[in-house]
Structure 1
Amino acid sequence: MNLIDFIFPKTCLGCGKDGQYLCLSCVSKSNLVRQICIECEKSSIDGLTHTKCTRSWGLDGAVSIWVYEGIIRKALIKLKYKFAYELANELSRYASDFMKKNINALPKNAILTSVPLHARRQKWRGFNQSEEIGKLIAQNLGWEFRKGIVIRKIPTKPQTELKRSQRKKNILGAFSLKPNHQLLSTNYIIFDDVATTGSTLREVTKVLKRSGAKSVWGLTIAR
């Protein structure tokens, strides 16, 4: 436990009960998202991209867990600006348990990596919340985690501040493979905290697939 956890006492963000940031009762009441094809946004088993929607440099599938509202939204906002390890640990544990019980299509022996922040933003924040949560999920599920495979070369505006129609343009060409990195031809899972249109996941996927990735899936806590 670090200093931040002492500064922000462990009380449930939903009901105020002492002992946890996310009590089981409140998390159980949170709405799960409907798994969809990320391209056409129609229902799909385990978030698999429909065959007719598949693109050469596109996602093979994308999984989200909860609707971005209520206690889940509060948790992600808190983690974004005031990182608390215990909160990240609780959230990642609930997410991992859900995937173990409900999601079967994610590729085996995949490498999990997170959507990177621009270096300037990460220096200002001091951490990348998606990286920290992603590490914990990988640890819980026995996956390999690698950071820094992809870099954000352009300091884009936060997607949440933009209209749906602006998000694709904002993120276009923002990422590239880390200089001098030799990408393994294997399966990858890109982790981010929240997905709205999927534009960010698509852009990172382009970089990975053009560099030799065998398959790429997206994984987010909420949508």
Structure 2
Amino acid sequence: MDLLDFIFPPKCLECGKIGKYICSECLAKIPKTSYKNRYSYSIWKYQGIVRRAIISLKYKFAYKLSDELAKNAFSELKKRQVFDGKDFVLVPVPLYSKRKNFRGFNQSEVVGKKLAELMKWEYEERLVIKLKNTLTQVGLRGDSRRKNLKNAFGINKEKLNRNKNYLIFDDVLTTGSTIDEIRLEFKKTGIFKVFSLTLAR
């Protein structure tokens, strides 16, 4: 515990209990998502403490939440034996450079890097590139989301290894447009089997 945590101890974003930003009691109340298939998985429903934590990390710059989110995600993946035995390269969904510079970090990178470390996966944040500064996806629906993201991403072929299994990582899955667009870029390079993982849906 650092000095700041000693003076201002973390407390649960949902119930206010001192000790952690995400207490186990509040996290246990969040339904596990039923969204999964062979190549994609989402861990929690986007509500309650999970929603508060992601919003606080993303928009309130509560950087310390990234460790707790990663550790809880790791615990759930192990408990449910999701992607067991898979050897992945975790690839976070990138932010456009101006947005990342304004925020100071990319939430998918900081959570994804810690999660990859815990899962003993490789990690590569320079493989998928955000080529243009798109509108925020918040408030957009269906076709508007897809049009907004069209040709927004690219693959850095210097970092590409066709013998690896790639896992796209993001915080929240809404319509899946972002991950679909990145998968399309992988397909253009000849890689058709790309997995995905999100914290919430």
Q: Structure 1 residue 21 and structure 2 residue 21: aligned? A: yes
Aligned to 1:109: 87
Structure 2: 5+ residue runs without aligned partners?
none
Aligned to 2:170: 192
Aligned to 1:183: 160
Matches within 5 A, 1:133-212: 133-178=111-156, 181-185=158-162, 186-212=164-190
Give the paired residue count: 200
- Structure 2 vs 1, CA of residues 126 and 104 (structure 1 numbering), >3 Å: closer, same or farther? closer
Find 2:49's aligned residue among 60, 71, 79: 71
TM superposition shift of 1:107? 6.8
8 A Cα contact 1:62 1:217, kept in partner: yes
Normalized against structure 2, the TM-score is what? 0.90
Q: Secondary structure at the match of 1:191?
A: strand
* Residue identity (%): 44
TM superposition shift of 1:110? 1.2
> Per-residue displacement from partner, 1:25-53 (whole Å, max 9, x unpaired)?
110111111124xxxxxxxxxx22xxxxx
8 A Cα contact 1:4 1:83, kept in partner: no
Matches within 5 A, 1:89-100: 89-100=67-78
8 A Cα contact 2:126 2:159, kept in partner: no
8 A Cα contact 2:90 2:168, kept in partner: yes
Q: Secondary structure at the match of 1:136?
A: helix
* CA–CA distance in structure 2, aligned partners of residues 79 and 4 of structure 1: 18
- Structure 2 vs 1, CA of residues 106 and 209 (structure 1 numbering), >3 Å: closer, same or farther? farther
TM superposition shift of 1:182? 4.3
TM superposition shift of 1:214? 6.0
Residue 12 of structure 2 aligns with an amino acid whose one-letter code is C
TM superposition shift of 1:209? 3.0
* CA–CA distance in structure 2, aligned partners of residues 7 and 175 of structure 1: 43
Structure 1: 5+ residue runs without aligned partners?
37-46, 49-60
8 A Cα contact 1:83 1:129, kept in partner: no
Aligned to 2:105: 127
Runs of 4+ deviating beyond 4 Å? 1-9
- Structure 2 vs 1, CA of residues 136 and 172 (structure 1 numbering), >3 Å: closer, same or farther? same
8 A Cα contact 1:187 1:213, kept in partner: no
* Aligned-pair Cα RMSD in Å: 2.2
Q: Secondary structure at the match of 1:196?
A: coil
8 A Cα contact 1:154 1:174, kept in partner: yes
* CA–CA distance in structure 2, aligned partners of residues 199 and 35 of structure 1: 15
* CA–CA distance in structure 2, aligned partners of residues 135 and 172 of structure 1: 26
